Amino acid sequence: MIPATLLPFLTDLRDHNQKEWMDENRKRYESNKSSFELLVEKLIAEIARFDNSISELKPKQCTFRINRDIRFSKNKSPYKTNFAAYFNPNGKQNSGAGYYLHIEPGNCFLAGGIWMPESSELSKIRQEIDYNLNEWLHIVENKNILKSFESIHENEKTVRPPKGYLPDNPAIEYLKLKSIILQKKFSDIEVQQPAFIKDVLKHFKMLTPLITFVNRSIEG
């Protein structure tokens, strides 16, 4: 389960996002961080049952620092207000597609796919979709995916067809995508239910064909 103390801590951090407050609540932070890392360790072991590519990961390879990089941001709040983890063979390093879990008061969700890949990677993904459209549609338009996740078409797209593709290409709406992401949101109440992690794993397993397709595209 998600620790009962985690969302209240993040809510307080959101309301008091200052170093002085964090210094006074360091023990709360460390306790919740440790609990989240234990959860991530369990998720690694369970995801590896259906995606062995992440079986060697350690929690610290998947979890993100709470400190924000404020050097080039107008928002000078020093801390993120979420705990999050990204699972792919490279851990949280944004190389290839993977599974993502985001816990934040009022904004809890899981996702799978790849976010804003390099142009060379995106070109390979587009080519794979174009060459293997039937396989792709079977992955992203089957009834379980459509029922369980937000539409992949909601991602940011190019205005015009990518170079080398005609407007009447049957895959054109997918080829315009800049990211390949499927996402499922959860309420704060759902996150704190005993069945939440089981539900996360069920949906991660549903995302495995998408992640495998994208990573195969990049590696090929």
Distance CA 210, CA 167 (A): 24
CB 207 within 8 A of CB 99: yes
For the chain, percent of residues with pLDDT exceeding 90: 87
Give the span between the Cα atoms of 180 and 32, in whole angstroms. 31
Q: How far apart are CA 63 and CA 47, in angstroms?
A: 15
Higher pLDDT, 151 or 157: 157
| 158-164: long-range pairs with CB below 8 Å, 24+ | 162/123, 162/126
Q: Specify the pLDDT at position 94.
A: 66
pLDDT at position 151 is 80
Q: 51: number of CA atoms within 13 Å, CB side?
A: 27
3-state secondary structure the chain: CCCCCHHHHHHHHHHCCCHHHHHHCHHHHHHHHHHHHHHHHHHHHHHCCCCHHHCCCCHHHHECCCECCCCCCCCCCCECCCEEEEECCCCCCCCCCEEEEEECCCCEEEEEEECCCCHHHHHHHHHHHHHCHHHHHHHHCCHHHHHHCCCHHHCCECCCCCCCCCCCCCCHHHHCECCEEEEEEECHHHHCCCCHHHHHHHHHHHHHHHHHHHHHHHHC
The answer, yes or no, to whether residue 134 has pLDDT greater than 90, is: yes
**pLDDT for res 74:** 81
pLDDT (mean) for 198-214: 97
Contact 126, 218 (CB under 8 A): no
Average pLDDT over residues 112-133: 96
pLDDT the model gives residue 99: 97
The confidence score (pLDDT) of residue 16 equals: 97
pLDDT at position 155 is: 75
- Mean pLDDT over residues 18-29, rounded? 97
Taking 90 as the threshold, does the pLDDT of residue 124 lie above it?
A: yes
Supply the pTM of this predicted model: 0.94
Percent of the chain exceeding pLDDT 70 equals 100
Q: Return mean pLDDT, the chain.
A: 94
pLDDT of residue 95: 76
pLDDT grade, residue 71 (50/70/90)? confident
Other C-beta atoms lying within 10 Å of the C-beta of residue 179: 16
Side-chain half-sphere CA neighbours of 204 within 13 A: 27
CB neighbourhood size of 21 (10 A): 15
pLDDT (average), residues 184-191: 97
pLDDT of 91 reads: 83
